[in-house]
Amino acid sequence: YALPPPAEGWKPPNALLGEGPTGFGVDHPYCSDCQQCWNVLMDATPTSKEESTTTKDNQRYLEYLVVEYTRDVSVQTSVTNTTQETVAYYLKQKLPQVCVVSVGLFDAAVEPPVHVFVSNMDRYLRLLQRTCGHVVWISIPAVVEDESIPQFQNCQLQTWNRAVLELLTSKEYPNVHVIDVWEKSMTTNHIGFLGMEPSFYATLSRLFLTIMVDTNHS
């Protein structure tokens, strides 16, 4: 993100605010809990002679930015307090046409009350509203419940999903859209207790490809 760290140093997450990280990132400042997750930028800008002049209108790229929790403090900087604020600050320089958000599942490790979860989601979506042409939230998927990880309960995850959908209908979010994957995830085979089989992600990929072609978003 090319921003200096905070002068006062990294501040650990506050569970009362629903903040992550909760695992590896707690003991390793500026790292996420996922040790094999990295920000990735894939440039797909046309290189033909006809389109040799790159502008914001014809620049095409796909970028993945690691954000694990609805209120994440892994990436703090001198001008931002949360990963969400850092991402929004970064995206403001790029003004992407579409931003896809998929957070909420790992908040189960923090176990915030519903009102805290919704408040954090509201704050994150409003940050993205100001920097992205359109924002797409992929709802929380169902998990395979495991007694050894009691925090991850489908009833809780579905409660959060419904609360966010209610939030989006009760406030002004003209450029925020939802892809509700709950029912699909309930009928899809899981890999482990969190991941889905490849066909689940392939279906999402085809959906986004169709949207991009039909609306000419790049």
Other Cβ atoms less than 10 A from the Cβ of 46: the count is 14
In this prediction, residues 154-167 reach a mean pLDDT of 96
Give, in order, the Cα–Cα distances in Å from 205 to each of 120, 126, 187, 199, 208: 27, 25, 18, 10, 5
51, pLDDT greater than 70: no
Location of structure tokens 């986004």: 208
Q: What is the pTM assigned to this prediction?
A: 0.88
Query: What is the band of 64 on the pLDDT scale with cuts at 50, 70, 90?
Result: very high
Mean of per-residue pLDDT scores for the chain:
90
Task: Kindly state the greatest CA–CA separation across the chain.
Answer: 59
217, pLDDT greater than 90: no
In this prediction, residues 187-202 reach a mean pLDDT of 91
Burial code (b: 16+ CB inside 10 Å, e: under 16) for 104-122 equals bbbbbbbebeeebbbbbbb
Backbone angles phi, psi at 138, to 5 degrees: -90, 120
Please report the DSSP string for 66-88 in residue order. Answer: ---SSSB-SS--SS-SSHHHHHH
pLDDT in tens, 105-156: 999 999 999 999 999 999 999 999 999 999 999 999 999 999 888 999 999 9
Determine the Cα–Cα distance for residues 58 and 51; give it in Å rounded to an integer.
Answer: 8
Determine the Cα–Cα distance for residues 106 and 94; give it in Å rounded to an integer.
Answer: 28
Of the candidates 158, 166, 163, 152, the one whose C-alpha atom is nearest the C-alpha of residue 194 is 152
